[in-house]
Structure 1
């Protein structure tokens, strides 16, 4: 299918696959597989990135092989990053839960625990291998950061204090994925970083973790930064946090002279509304919801009350 296409056409096709909404409904894997063997490393790297939406265990060995043996460094890094989706799938699989007689049905679409453990062990080995290029180790830290295990917390914290600023950038990115409350002080500190990449990742992480205490610095960044991409990231983060203090600013930014800022503010306001609504749910509401769920039972085909 890819024969006869120029590099530009191949990249355009892969970008379409990576960003179009229909990727959630259409299986593009056979097409992606063709591009994984392309002679151009940029095409191979983008094909690897597209696999994120298709966490089939069959691709674990493919990604590991690329991570170890592809001649291009960027492709190797992308392959390591791509393994992160299996950490995400495994972290939320709840392997310890006993489904009883419904185990086979409930585990049907779940990543096998053995595959999850294999990916986890591989990524940990990459992180710990000092002989590896620092970028490979960074990508492994980012990939494994979905995992809420003490060893991963330690790895992220160590990376934050690493003398190489690139490692610190990855650490802050990983904090946003890991979502531990432990990271709040680090993220707030990183919001004042003189390193633009660290500041950007801190802005994104503050939104991901919905850090109330980040609201004021994010408002400052959203209005005062000369970096438009950073302003947009801060606006989005304010929407994710949903603090009442941010509403007037987001409302005003809908009328900003810059079209991209206006669009970001409109989207952030929609997000703010949802976040603010969740804030209205107190512990009593959540307990009531839990009680309601207890009234339902699984019969093998669906939930019955």
Structure 2
């Protein structure tokens, strides 16, 4: 099965041996740019990622002669497995698709590449965006420097990274008013992830707007779940009848998640009372 066919079907339906197909294209420097780009994208899927694919992705990030687009995609594809390994740990290594040794090697390599001045801006941006999925001590300073840069691309990367690295509430709130729609979107996501209550008036205005962009509306729904779960039913109920299936489904999911959060909080309060 070729890569273009794989892209068009769900990862859980990929046949056995798919990881070898992807790996062969990644490792072939003579393969076409579009093929290697697609292989790098597919390699990060949890259905196939393993030590061999992770090593191949890392090799591409290091590959000076590879295009910025390919190196950047390879870095981004390492992000999800870095996050999984960081969250779950290695107490039960058989549950993590990469080894702890590979995890550490990726982290060290990405940090080293990010600090190299001869690595292009776009590759360094993707390295930072991927590496923050498994937070390290060097990330806050890197994010602060990116946020203070006059280049809007670096500021976008910084606000994206604030979703994963805590301690940037004031910058998140400031970015809610940024006219750049991409930065605005990332600020909404970051505010939701860190439950920034001061962002609620801004988020509520988006949810009450008749002309909010769809991606921004969906992000605001997600943010509501963590910031004001008790208001989910009242605020999002009307969206469940939307003619847009994505919006209706997102509203149902957000309401369900909010109810689960409230139930969990009630359970914790009951346990504290029993103690």
| Structure-2 change in CA distance of 1:21 and 1:271 (3 Å) | farther
Match of 2:247 in 1: 261
Compared with structure 1, are the counterparts of its residues 61 and 148 closer, same or farther at alpha carbon in structure 2 (3 Å cutoff)? closer
Residue 201 of structure 2 is aligned to residue 207 of structure 1 = no
Assess, with a 3 A threshold, how the Cα gap between structure 1 residues 193 and 149 changes in structure 2: closer, same or farther: same
Task: Answer yes or no: is the 8 Å Cα contact 2:62–2:113 preserved in 1.
Answer: no
Change (3 A) 1:93 1:250: closer
Which residue does 1:172 correspond to in 2? 159
In structure 2, what is the Cα distance between the partners aligned to 1:146 and 1:72?
23
User: Structure 2: 5+ residue runs without aligned partners?
Assistant: none
Indicate conservation of the 8 Å contact 1:127/1:140, yes or no: yes
Partner residue, 2:208: 223
Q: Using the TM superposition, give the Cα deviation of residue 55 of structure 1 relative to its aligned residue in structure 2, in angstroms.
A: 3.6
Aligned to 2:23: 33
Give the Cα separation in 1 of the matches to 2:231 and 2:81: 38
Number of positions where the alignment pairs a residue of Structure 1 with one of Structure 2: 268
Shift of 1:30: 2.5
Equivalent residue runs for 1:5-154 within 5 Å: 10-17=3-10, 20-22=11-13, 28-36=18-26, 37=28, 39-52=31-44, 53=46, 54-69=48-63, 71-92=66-87, 94=89, 106-110=92-96, 111-154=98-141
Structural RMSD (CA): 3.0
Cα gap change, 1:248 to 1:84, in 2 (>3 Å): same
Larger radius of gyration: 1
Alpha-carbon distance in 1 for matches of 2:198, 2:35: 42
Describe the shift of the 1:26–1:189 C-alpha distance in structure 2 as closer, same or farther (beyond 3 A): farther
Are positions 1:279 and 2:265 aligned together? yes
Is the CA contact (8 Å cut-off) linking 1:215 and 1:243 kept in structure 2?
no
| TM-score after normalising by structure 1 | 0.75
- The normalised TM-score by structure 2 is 0.82
- Please say if residues 159 and 187 of structure 2, whose CA atoms lie closer than 8 Å, have aligned partners that are also in contact: yes
User: CA shift at 1:77, angstroms?
Assistant: 0.6
